Amino acid sequence: MQVSILHPMTRLLIALCFIVLVFGLSVGYQAIAVFSGVIIAWGLVRAIPSRDPGRIFLRLWLTAGFFLMIIHSVSFNDSFVFNQNGLQVAGRSFFKIGSLVVAFLWVIRTTKVEELYAMLLDLRLPVSVIYVLFQAIYLIPRFGDRAREILIAQQARGFVLKGIRNRLRALILIFAPLFSTAIYELEENAASISARGLHALGRKTHLCKIKFTALDAMLFVASIVVTSVFLAMAN
């Protein structure tokens, strides 16, 4: 198999440095860094051709930002009062969460599944832990797909989905079948992987070639130095 230019650990370090950098900047610079990161990460050619859960995370992030703004900057005392200091608090939380979203987008759009699997095996992580991590990533987009499938099935049976009240009622009703089908899929996947030797004795190997090169070492040092310099300048 083709060897990637960068080791998966290098990509993870770059993502971690970006998170640390955003957490240490002021609100204005946080906004510039996060929105620039979203544009860059979203414009990357995906290493995984199948659908990734990045769109779902962006929607959750924007929804969280709306509620943060309402909670911290809007109060009611005989009339609605807009608190500017609360808006700054909401902005800091919003952009800190955004840095996590950007880091996630960067990793899933530049790293193939087999590269992550190979790295985790090389780090000697237990196979059961690796399975849990991959299943958690798998369930994120599956929740959205299954929710749409159940809503379409409800609508085909005559369930009215027009209006906010009806849609909220429909969403509440889908939680039980959504989680039950998710548990069923996990059990099926676990049984299938166990039948293929998940718990077999001996060291697990992989076919994906990942190699830590001089370029990885330079990017390691550069990421740490750049992050430290920017944090020092910001403070």
Is residue 27 domain-shared with residue 97, that is, in the same domain? yes
> Tens digits of per-residue pLDDT, 94-150?
999 999 988 988 888 888 878 888 888 888 877 777 777 777 776 766 676 777 777
Task: Answer yes or no: do 140 and 92 share one domain.
Answer: no
When pLDDT is cut at 50, 70 and 90, the band that residue 225 belongs to is very high
42 in a domain, yes or no? yes
d(C-alpha 219, C-alpha 230), whole Å: 16
Same domain, 107 and 71: yes
Same-domain pairing of 220 and 151:
no
85 and 166 co-located in one domain: no
Alpha-carbon torsion 86, 90, 91, 93, what sign? positive
pLDDT digits (tens, 9 = 90+) for 151-161: 777 777 776 66
**Lowest-confidence segment of 11-20, 46-55, 215-224, 225-234 by average pLDDT:** 46-55
> Which whole-number Å values give the CA distances from 226 to 97, 100, 117, 175, in the listed order?
21, 19, 29, 45
At 1, the pLDDT band (50, 70, 90 cuts) reads: very low
Q: How confident is the model at residue 68 (pLDDT cuts 50, 70, 90)?
A: confident
Residue 120 lies in a domain: no
According to the model, what pLDDT value does residue 212 have?
Answer: 85
**Residue 30 and residue 139 in one domain:** no
Long-range contacts of residues 79-88, Cβ cutoff 8 Å, at least 24 apart: 88/27
Is 174 among the domain residues?
Answer: yes
pLDDT value at 49 more than 50: no
Instruction: Note the Cα 226 to chain centre separation in Å.
Output: 24
Residue 200 lies in a domain: yes
Q: Is residue 87 part of a domain?
A: yes
Domain total of the chain: 2
* pLDDT value for 96: 92
155 and 41 fall within a common domain: no
pTM over 0.75: no
In whole numbers, what is the pLDDT of the chain averaged over residues? 78
Structure tokens at 223: 């990421």
Look at the chain and count its residues: 235
For residues 96 and 139, state if they share a domain: no
In a domain, 117, yes or no: no
Give residue 183's pLDDT.
75
For residues 150 and 62, membership in a common domain is answered with: no
Q: How far apart are CA 20 and CA 225, in angstroms?
A: 12
Of residues 73 and 54, more confidently modeled = 73
Where helices occur in 157-199 by DSSP H, the ranges are: 164-195
Do 203 and 214 lie in a common domain?
no
In the predicted model, what is the mean pLDDT of residues 56-65? Answer: 81
Residue 67 domain boundaries: 7-112+210-235
Residue range 19-34: average pLDDT? 89
pLDDT value of residue 19: 93
Per-residue model confidence as pLDDT tens digits over 101-111: 889 888 888 88
Structural domain includes residue 53: yes
- Write phi, then psi, for 80 (nearest 5 degrees): -70, 130
Tell me which DSSP letter residue 78 carries.
S
Bridge-based pairing state of the strands 80-82 and 74-76: antiparallel
What pLDDT does 134 receive? 75
Q: Name the band, by pLDDT with cuts 50, 70 and 90, for residue 80.
A: low
Assess if residue 1 is contained within a domain.
no
**So what's the pLDDT on residue 71?**
83
- Examine the domain organization and report whether 172 and 223 are in the same domain: no
Is there a single domain that holds both residue 76 and residue 151? no
Average pLDDT over residues 176-199: 72
Rounded Cα distance between 174 and 154, Å, is 9
For residue 182, give both structure tokens: 């998710």
CB 55 within 8 A of CB 115: no
